[in-house]
Structure 1
Amino acid sequence: MSDPTMPALQAHDLDGLRRFLAIRSHTEALAAPLSAEDQTVQSMADTSPTKWHLAHTTWFFETFVLRPHAGGYEVFDPAYEYLFNSYYEAVGPRHPRPQRGLITRPGIDEVMAYRRHVTDAMTAFLSVGNASNAGDIVELGLQHEQQHQELILMDIKHALSLNPIKPAYRAPSGRTGEARALAWREFEPGLVEVGHDGRGFAFDNEGPRHRTWLDAFALALRPVNCSEFLGFIEDGGYRRPEFWLSAGWDCVGQRGWQAPLYWEPHDGTWMIYTLSGLEPLDPMRPVCHVSAFEAAAFAKWAGKRLPREAEWEVGAPMLDGLGEVWEWTASPYVAYPGYREPPGAIGEYNGKFMANQMVLRGGCAVTPRGHVRPTYRNFFPPDARWMFGGIRLAEDLQ
C-alpha cells in the first residue's frame, strides 16, 4: 500500500479527480473494440471475461470506498456483491472463477450502467471535503483497475486466439524488433538493499525494504529474442528432458508443448498470433508467452540461468528492453523479511497468494507505464503462458 508519509488523493485535488476519471475511461476504451459476445466469453479458468473485469473494478470502489465511507450511497444491485467479488473471503461468498463466462446477465448495457452509477458516486465523493479519509484505498482502487486493464488485453488475446478465423483486436503496430547482439553487465558481490523505499505508491508485497547478499553475477542487457528461442526449438529443446525441471517436462508431455503459446507452423515457417491477428515471426522481437518452465529450460540449454529477483532489481536501472515482456525470475513468490499483511479484507490482495508461484519483473507492452518499476513483483504459477512472460538470462561469476 502507499506509505503513510505519501500524500493521499485529496478531496480538493482536481488533478486526482481527473486521473480517476481518465483511468475509468481508459478501461472502457480498451473494451470498446469488442462485441458483446467477445466481452462475455471466458476461454479458460485462469482468464475472465472483459465484462467481468469492467464490473469487478467497479465493485471494488463500491465495496471498499463508497459503502463504508460515502454516507447515503445506494448500492446499484445487491446481487453484484456475489457476482463480481474476485477472491475476498472476508467480504463474503462469490461466484466460482471458472464459471464467470456463464454470467450472461447482467449484459453489457447493465454493466456499463453500473460503471456510470459508481463513477458518478465516486466523482461526487471525491469532490467533497470528507473524501480525504479514504485517499489510500482510492489510490489502491486506481492501481487495481490499471492491473485489470492489462488483464483485459491478456485475457481477450487468449480468447480471440482460439477463434479459427484469428480475428484482430487492433490494427498492426508496424513495430519491428532491433538486431542487437547479446551483451552482458557484470555486478560485483556485495550487500544490497532491495524493496520499495516508501516514496510514492507501491503494493504491499513490494516491501519492506531489506538487505540481502548477492554473489558476483552478470545479467544479459536485453531479453532473449525469438530467433534465439527458435534455436532452442530446432535443437530439439522440447524433446530433450535434460533441460527441464520435472514438473515442466510433465507439462511438455501432457499438454503437447512444442513452442511458445501463440506460435503456429504454416508452410514451413512460424506465425505468431498477436493482438493484431496472425503475423509472421519477427526474429528480433523478445520471445513472449513462455512459462517459467520453458524459460528455465532455455536458460539451461544456453548454459546460463534465470536471474534471482534481487539480482534483477539491482540490475534493472542498467538493463535494456524493460517493459517489453514480463521476465521470469528463479525466485518463488514469498514474503520479504518483516512483511505483514494489511488488516481487513484488503490484506487478501497479495499475501494470500504467496505459495506455488514464481516472480516476474519488468512489465510488458500492455502494462500501464506507471507499473513498470524495479520493485514491482508480478507473480504467476510456473506453467502459466497466456500472460506476456519472457526471458532474461543471468550467470554466475567466479
Structure 2
Amino acid sequence: MTSTDSLVDFFLETRLHTENICKPLEIEDYVVQPIVDVSPPKWHLGHTTWFFEEFILKPHFKGYTVFDEDFSFVFNSYYETVGKRVVRSDRGNLSRPSVDSVYAYRTYVTEGIKNLFSTSQSQELDDLLEIGIHHEKQHQELLLTDIKFILGNNPLLPVYSNNFKEHPHENEPQEWISMDEGIYEIGHNSSTFCYDNELGRHKVYLHPFQVSKNLITNQEYMAFIEAGGYKKFDLWHAEGWDWINQNNISAPLYWHNIDGLWHNYTLNGLQEITPNAPVTHISYFEAFAFAQWKGCRLATEFEWEAAQSLFNWGKRWEWTESAYLPYPNYKKADGALGEYNGKFMVNQKVLRGGSVATPVHHTRPTYRNFFQTQLRWQYTGLRLAK
C-alpha cells in the first residue's frame, strides 16, 4: 500500500467483500457447524471484526469503548495471550449473539477504524491494519469453504449461488517442466506484505527434477478410482490407509456416484463431474497415493517455488511433500500476534498456490498455507513431480 488512505480503502473493500459472501445465505445458515474444522458464518463475521477491535482499536484508540464485553470471549479463536474463549467445537452452539448483533458489531468496529485512521497515522498502525486486512481475507476463503461444507452436508444439497465458478478447465495437454539442479533462493524478498512464515529468505540445493505443467484433473483421478486406487494398501501411508478404512473414504469429498455416474456437490448445487477440471477436495493422503499410483511424487514446497513461474497456479491449493517448519532465523512476533503462525509448525503439510476461493490481492509465490494431512474441505488439489 502506498498511503494510509489507500490502505483504509483496501480495508473497506475487504470488509464489504466478507459481507457479500454471506448475502446468498438464509438466516438459519449462519450458525451451523457440522464438524470442528468448520466454523459458522456468523462466527467468521464476528471473529474478523474482533481482530481489529482487539489489536488496533483497544490499544490505540484513546477513549474507545468496546462494543460488547462478552464478544472477546465469543470471538477469540486461539490467542492464549488475550484470554479465555469459547471452545472451537462449541461455536455452533452460539445462537446468541444474534446475526443482527454481529452485523451491528461489524459496522461499529469498521466506523471505529475509519475514525482512528482519520486522526492518527503511523507505520505501526498501518502494519497492524494491513495484517488485519489479510487476516480477514484468509477468513473469506475459510468462510466460503465452510459455507460449502455446511450446504454440502445438508440432505437437500442446496444451491449457494449460480454465479460462483469453482471448476476452471485444464485445456492444455499435460507435459513436464524440467528444472536443473542448483541452488535456489526461497522466501519473500520484497517490501510488499507477507506473513512471518514466509520470511527468512534462504538458499536451498535442489537435485534436477520435473514438475507437471497442469494440475491433475477429475478424469485422471477417476482413472485412479477405477483402477482400485482406494483398495491398494501399497499406495498409501499406513496412517492414510487407516484413515480411508476407518472413515469409508473411496472418492474425493463431495463426490457422489449416482447410477454409475460421478457427480459432485458444488456451490451451484449437485452437478455431473467436469472431466477436465482440476480435481479438488482431496487430502494429502489421497494426493500422495495418486502420485504413487502414477509412479511419481509430490513436489517439495521448495521445488514448487523454484518452478512456479513456469506454470499457471491459483486454481487449487496444491499439496506438497514438505512439512510445515520455520525457515532459517524465523522469529515469532512479540505478544499475541506471535501466535499467528509459529505455534502451528508441527504435524502439518505445506500447500502452495491459492484457489478459486482465495480473494484477490492475497496470495503470492511465497505464500505458505498449511493443513493436517486428512483435511480436504478446502479447494485442495495436486501437481505431480518426479
Q: What TM bracket, shorter-length normalisation?
A: over 0.9
Q: Which residue of 1 is the match for residue 348 of structure 2?
A: 357
2:128 matched to which residue of 1?
137
Kindly state the Cα deviation for residue 182 of structure 1 after the two structures are TM-superposed: 1.3
- Give the SS at the match of 2:318: strand
SS in 1 for 2:81: coil
Query: 1:47 and 1:30, CA in 2 relative to 1: closer, same or farther beyond 3 A?
Result: same
Residue of 223, 232, 253 corresponding to 2:224? 232
| 1:305 maps to which of 297, 300, 315 | 297
Out of 337-346 and 367-376, give the one that drifted further: 367-376
Contact 1:335/1:354, CA 8 A, preserved across alignment: yes
2:56 to 58, 62, 65: 65
When the two chains are superposed, the root-mean-square deviation of aligned CA atoms in Å is 1.3
Distance 1:107 1:85 in 2: 17
What pairs with 1:70-219 in structure 2 (closer than 5 Å)? 70-130=61-121, 132-171=123-162, 177-219=169-211
Q: Is the 8 A contact 2:170 2:215 kept in 1?
A: no
How big is the shift at 1:125? 0.7
**One-letter code aligned to 2:201:** R
Report the secondary structure of 1:82's partner residue: helix
Contact 2:348/2:371 (8 A) holds in 1 = yes
Letter in 1 for 2:27: A
The answer to whether structure 1 residue 296 and structure 2 residue 296 are counterparts is no
Matched position secondary structure for 2:263: strand
Name the CA distance, whole Å, in 2 between partners of 1:178 and 1:240: 28
Q: Which runs of 5+ in 2 are unaligned?
A: none
Judge conservation of contact 1:125–1:131 (CA < 8 Å) in 2.
no
The letter of the residue matching 1:297 is A
CA distance in 2, matches of 1:338, 1:85: 29
Partner in structure 1 of residue 367 of structure 2: 376
| CA separation of 1:173 and 1:123: change in aligned 2, threshold 3 A | closer
Equivalent of 1:222, from 204, 208, 214?
A: 214
Aligned counterpart, 1:4: none
Instruction: State how far apart, in whole Å, the 2-side matches of 1:282 and 1:82 are.
Output: 44
- One-letter code aligned to 2:28: E
Compare 106-115 and 364-373 and name the one that shifted more: 364-373
Identity %: 46
* Closer/same/farther in 2, CA of residues 131 and 120 from structure 1, 3 Å limit: farther
Instruction: Tell me the TM-score normalized by structure 1.
Output: 0.95
1:193/1:210 contact within 8 Å kept: yes
Shift of 1:18: 1.6
Aligned to 2:257: 265
- CA 1:276–1:15: 2 relative to 1, 3 Å: same
Corresponding letter in the other structure for 1:193: E
Report the Cα offset of residue 176 of structure 1: 5.4
Q: Distance in 1 between matches of 2:359 and 2:54?
A: 24
Q: Could you tell which deviates more after superposition, 125-134 or 172-181? A: 172-181
* 8 Å Cα contact 1:176-1:282 kept in structure 2: no
Equivalent residues in 2 for 1:337-352, closer than 5 Å: 337-352=328-343
* TM-score (ref. length: structure 2): 0.98
**Residue range with higher mean Cα deviation, 165-174 or 346-355:** 165-174
Q: How far did residue 14 of structure 1 move? A: 2.4
Deviation at 1:70, TM superposition (A): 0.4
* Alignment partner of 2:274 out of 276, 282, 291: 282
1:318 matched to which residue of 2? 310
The 8 Å contact of residues 192 and 212 in structure 1, kept in 2 or not, is answered as: yes
Question: Secondary structure in 1 aligned to 2:361?
Answer: helix
**SS of corresponding position for 2:290:** helix
- Residues 10-61 of structure 1 show CA distances to partners (whole Å, capped at 9, x for unaligned) of 5xx3222221111101111111111121011111001100000000000000
